[in-house]
Amino acid sequence: MSKKNKKKNVAEKSASKKEAVLQTEKKNQSPLRTLLVVAIVIVGGLVFYLLQTGFEFRPKPPAIQPEVTATEVSFPVQAFNDGQAKHFQYPASNGITVRFFILRSSDGIIRAAYDACDVCWREGKGYYQDGDFMVCRNCGQRFASIKVNEIKGGCNPAPLNRTVAGDKLVIKIADIVQGSQYFDFARRS
């Protein structure tokens, strides 16, 4: 064998070994890398979802069953003693479901507001409670419970008229239906 052929043969063997080693390393690392990337994407997506939804997308239906008449909806006052916001829905005659919440604020007043605001209503996300605050699921703005039903406009929860009569919290159906504008998602544009 000539010197030239020996060098060529050695170079080919070396290239062959290098290729075999590199392919083996790629085979061992590729599934691991793929699994790591998939895990990061899944965890990242979950974190993003939870941050966007306030760790809950839709409130659980309350155990409170209101009394509904032709003109008003009433709730037992003691149902709000725990200070936790309770979310409700009312099917308006125009085919739109109006969502609202009621809570006893830290100053002891029972407050009610639509689960929407003048700014973020188009997203249809509403609010969730975080301690003494109601938080917009769309923009993250926080509103002290004592300001609910007091301040209106902007991203504040839109106030809903209510009265306390004896041991009942009463909301007129006409007032609930007046909030349909916040839940008419056909007019989002």
What digits encode the pLDDT tens for the residues 24-83?
Answer: 544 555 777 877 777 788 877 776 766 665 555 555 555 778 888 899 999 999 999 999
Task: Please give the residue that has the higher pLDDT: either 19 or 137.
Answer: 137
Q: List beta partners, residue 121.
A: none
| Verdict on whether the full-model pTM lies above 0.85 | no
What is the C-alpha separation between 141 and 134, in angstroms, rounded? 8
**What is the average per-residue pLDDT within 160-173?**
94
Is the CATH number of domain 67-187 2.102.10.10? yes
Residue at token pair 């409700």: 88
What is the C-alpha separation between 124 and 107, in angstroms, rounded? 29
What digits encode the pLDDT tens for the residues 172-186?
Answer: 999 999 999 899 877
Task: List the alpha helices (DSSP H) in the chain.
Answer: 3-53, 173-178
Residue 92: predicted pLDDT: 84
Residue 163: predicted pLDDT: 94
Task: Please give the residue that has the higher pLDDT: either 152 or 11.
Answer: 152
Residue at token pair 């106030």: 159
Domain boundaries, the chain: 1-53, 67-187
Instruction: Kindly indicate the confidence band of residue 2, based on its pLDDT and cuts at 50, 70 and 90.
Output: low
1 pLDDT more than 80: no
Residue at token pair 């790629």: 26
Q: List beta partners, residue 100.
A: 88, 114
What is the C-alpha separation between 81 and 108, in angstroms, rounded? 8
Q: Cα-flanking dihedrals φ and ψ of residue 188, to 5°? A: -65, -25
What is the C-alpha separation between 147 and 156, in angstroms, rounded? 9
Residue at token pair 């159906």: 173
Task: Please give the residue that has the higher pLDDT: either 17 or 56.
Answer: 17
Helix, strand, coil percentages in the chain from 3-state DSSP, rounded to 5: 40, 25, 35
3-state secondary structure of 122: helix
**What is the average per-residue pLDDT within 113-134?**
91
Residue 32: predicted pLDDT: 78
What digits encode the pLDDT tens for the residues 89-122?
Answer: 999 877 899 999 999 999 999 999 999 988 888 8
Residue 3: predicted pLDDT: 61
Instruction: Kindly indicate the confidence band of residue 146, based on its pLDDT and cuts at 50, 70 and 90.
Output: very high
What is the C-alpha separation between 22 and 19, in angstroms, rounded? 5
